[in-house]
Structure 1
Amino acid sequence: MQVRRFAALALDEVPALAQDILRQIRSEYPGLPVVLDDSGEPMALIGIRRALEGFVQQIAAAEGGRPCYPLEVFQEFGRGEGLHGRSLDSLQAIYRLGVRLAWRRLAEIGQQIEIPPPAMYELAESGFEYLDGLVDQSVRGYAEAAARQAGERLRLQRKLMELLLSERRGESGAGAPADSGSGSGSGSGSHSGSRQPGARSALDERAARVGWQLPERVAVGVLLRPAREAVAPAVGQGVLLDMETEQPRMVVPDPDAAGRPELLRRAMTGWSGAIGPPVPLADAAKSLRWAEAAVRLMERGLLPSGEVLHCTEHTEALVLLQPEELIEDLARRCLAPLAHCGPAHGRRLAETLLAWLETRGGAPEVAARLGVHPQTVRYRLRQIRELWGDEVDDPDRRFELELVLRARRLRGELGRVG
């Protein structure tokens, strides 16, 4: 009977108590934004009133009834904090203040109707449990807002990367530097200086929406996942990262900036892939092409795997192994004299020829490079002269021979010497 009477008196107090609590909260937190519902009533007041009603109704039904939380209101409070980039600390402090003020008045009602102290202690305990439930609802709303924001940022970031890496970006004019035909007459300029004053491209706008400052130069990376569910590398805010593709891609701004290579090296621990050469922003797609080419060679075992390599450190392999059909056609023509030699003998002659072309020395130098006797080298060089004749003295033919033989060595078809 006392519980029902307590609940009835408390419900009568709820409207005025909610107003008092809101007034006190605003006094202690003057910067608290006032958000109105469709009827023009403050959402905070609605939340306080519903929370009080829910708690009192729980007591009335009590006797262990399930708490009835005003879910949508307190989840909305949490979402609001998340969407405005604030933490939940201030919101929880406000909740605690509200509970303290509410309990003061509820305790007065309990004394009026002479509820025994042990019963009041139980009510106080229920109040704090109820507060925990309200906080949980706000945390849920906050987490939902944070996830939505993160998802939206990732979506916008992917759109930015798609535009940045598009081969046709320069043709469409979206983000590509304009021709500097007027003004100084120079054929080149900085990324920003080459645009018409006041003009904002699609690239500018998309970069602004994710808070990414357009750099002068970028390098584009392609990554190989160490595992299907691998956690994204912690590359930092400045690096654009798209994990939605089978082979994740990243855009590194100002790749030569002090400390950037070391930061990337640490962030990429456990990952493998390739980072293309640094290029002007408008040429980002070119850096991507080289990174993709390097990854293909890694997958074929022609470049080191198990790490994120830099294309600029593997120029020879990328230049010689990429145009495979062209190099193979040239090799068929240049190495035709070896067609009638056995595989093992042909390989030894090819290795000797390459060592000779690289050293530009005599038999002793070539022998030292190959680790064989100089007389063996003299014998092989005589055979080379017989097979190719005066062609080995022609600078253009020598260049072609060295090109195709180096390519074969990179593919593991010739031994590495020297």
Structure 2
Amino acid sequence: MPAPPAWHKVPPEQVRRFAELATEQVPDIARDILQAMRQEFPNLDLTTDEKGVPKALSAIRLALENFLAQLTTDTERPRELPEVFRDFGRNQALKGRRLDSLQAIYRLNVRLAWRSLAEIGQQVEIPPPAMYELAESAFEYLDELVSHSLHGYAEVAAGRAGERIRRQRLLIDLLLTEHRGDPSAALAERAAAVDWTLPDEVAVAVLLRPAQQLVTPVLGDEVLLDLDGEQPRLVLADPGTPGRIEWLRRAMGGWSGAIGPGVPVTQAATSLHWAAKATRMIQDDLLPRGRLLRCSEHAEALVLLPADRLIDDLARRRLAQLTDVGPEQARRLAETLLAWLQTRGGAPEVAARLGVHPQTVRNRLRQIRDLWGDDLDDPDRRFELELVLRTRRLRGELADPNA
């Protein structure tokens, strides 16, 4: 830090006198600053060196002496100066102090230091323009020291964040593992390690990364999020709380995926199973993309569509009667049969559901009775018929009157 331009107009002897007087008072100035720090921040925990001297006191002295030395020489920064202030930032982070508290400490220090230097400047009659420029240089010097401390603070903060992420991932892994015994004790221990209150119930989501990179969603303490892997995983505490699922959907705007059913916390792997299954169906375009789906809202598709071979075999046996009619007539009869099975009403109710004339439905129902006969009076056969017909509707082979 070269001396500011206005100092070049100050006689060298006057500058030297200012620097000498200020340097002589550095121990007192530093001591007064440290005392003020302790009064202003009573919870400030200062570390000491091997001689029991507060490291903050040594740092203040070193910073002041270096600042004053550069007024009369081209003295380089002491090599230990950056590390001293990085260490101070590290210690403040380790003690759990907030970043704004660290910056407040520096503001107090420079204010008190400048008050003393201004008094000395008046004593040796340094011109005001020179003192003003010296003040600007002092704040630039302070910014440099602050940057060292912020760097040290950030090192600790990043390390702590990384450690929390690691511990959180261990908790998620344990949560999502199928257990033979009772994992409650182990879960409670790992939850405590990340200050997560272990809930009674959780729901697990599996996410699909969006094509366009999005900002990582900011979620509350109710959520554990593991973004590692091709398909990130999310654990939501107490999903039955009113509005919580909708809040999560809004927070995850732009992400596709599925959230499984709410289950006891020790059975989170079950929720993961359904969420993963639904996510595979999203990838196969069997379920819609673009938002976080609830498995409970798509239970029919989750149960019926993956069982395609079983359903197809059952359909060949239960819908064999349709092979003797044309494709279009087979579709109309299948839609009418499904509507009748779902409503168990007469022709008017079925007609209203299908949007056709009741007489048309009566004609179709007579044909259906001729084709299936007594099977329509058997509860098991009716269930199987509805099962295969619902599956065909989910596949898009039959019209959905609710669509």
TM-score, normalised relative to structure 2? 0.84
Which residues of 2 match residues 389-408 of structure 1 at below 5 A? 389-408=373-392
**Residue matched to 1:278:** 262
Which residues of 2 match residues 82-161 of structure 1 at below 5 A? 82-107=93-118, 109-110=120-121, 115-161=126-172
- The answer as to 2:38 corresponding to 1:49 is no
Contact 2:66 2:77 in 1 (8 A): no
The offset of 1:4, in angstroms, is 5.0
Question: Structure 1 residues 28, 274: closer, same or farther in 2, change over 3 A?
Answer: closer
Task: Give the match's secondary structure for 1:70.
Answer: helix
Contact 2:86 2:152 in 1 (8 A): yes
Task: Give the match's secondary structure for 1:171.
Answer: coil
Question: Which of these residues, 169, 180, 202, is aligned with residue 171 of structure 1?
Answer: 180
Instruction: Tell me the number of residue pairs that the alignment of Structure 1 and Structure 2 aligns.
Output: 390
The offset of 1:414, in angstroms, is 0.7
Contact 2:182 2:266 in 1 (8 A): no
Counterpart amino acid of 2:147? D
Which residues of 2 match residues 9-408 of structure 1 at below 5 A? 10-37=22-49, 40-62=52-74, 70-107=81-118, 109-110=120-121, 115-167=126-178, 170-171=179-180, 173-175=182-184, 201-408=185-392
Contact 2:210 2:255 in 1 (8 A): yes
The offset of 1:165, in angstroms, is 1.0
What is the rounded CA distance, in whole Å, between the counterparts of 2:38 and 2:307 in structure 1? 71
Q: Deviations over 1:249-304 (max 9, x none)?
A: 22221112244344334423443332211111111111121122222333333334
Q: Equivalent pairs: percent with the same residue?
A: 64
What is the rounded CA distance, in whole Å, between the counterparts of 1:343 and 1:41 in structure 2? 94
Contact 1:69 1:133 in 2 (8 A): no
What is the rounded CA distance, in whole Å, between the counterparts of 1:129 and 1:371 in structure 2? 79
What is the rounded CA distance, in whole Å, between the counterparts of 1:341 and 1:58 in structure 2? 101
Question: Structure 1 residues 386, 30: closer, same or farther in 2, change over 3 A?
Answer: closer
What is the rounded CA distance, in whole Å, between the counterparts of 1:11 and 1:58 in structure 2? 12
The offset of 1:248, in angstroms, is 2.7
What is the rounded CA distance, in whole Å, between the counterparts of 2:356 and 2:218 in structure 1? 50
Task: Give the match's secondary structure for 1:284.
Answer: helix
Question: Structure 1 residues 5, 415: closer, same or farther in 2, change over 3 A?
Answer: same
Counterpart amino acid of 1:139? L
More helix by share: 2
The offset of 1:206, in angstroms, is 0.9
47-56 or 292-301, which moves further after superposition?
292-301
Contact 2:45 2:95 in 1 (8 A): no
What is the rounded CA distance, in whole Å, between the counterparts of 2:136 and 2:266 in structure 1? 64
The offset of 1:314, in angstroms, is 2.5
Counterpart amino acid of 2:401? V
The offset of 1:24, in angstroms, is 3.9
Counterpart amino acid of 1:76? D
Counterpart amino acid of 1:229? Q
What is the rounded CA distance, in whole Å, between the counterparts of 2:37 and 2:379 in structure 1? 87
The offset of 1:43, in angstroms, is 1.8
Question: Structure 1 residues 39, 365: closer, same or farther in 2, change over 3 A?
Answer: same
What is the rounded CA distance, in whole Å, between the counterparts of 2:57 and 2:86 in structure 1? 15
What is the rounded CA distance, in whole Å, between the counterparts of 1:326 and 1:68 in structure 2? 76
Contact 2:202 2:239 in 1 (8 A): yes
251-260 or 283-292, which moves further after superposition?
251-260
What is the rounded CA distance, in whole Å, between the counterparts of 1:38 and 1:20 in structure 2? 22
What is the rounded CA distance, in whole Å, between the counterparts of 1:89 and 1:391 in structure 2? 77
TM-score, normalised relative to structure 1? 0.81
Greater RCO, CA 8 A, separation 6+: 2
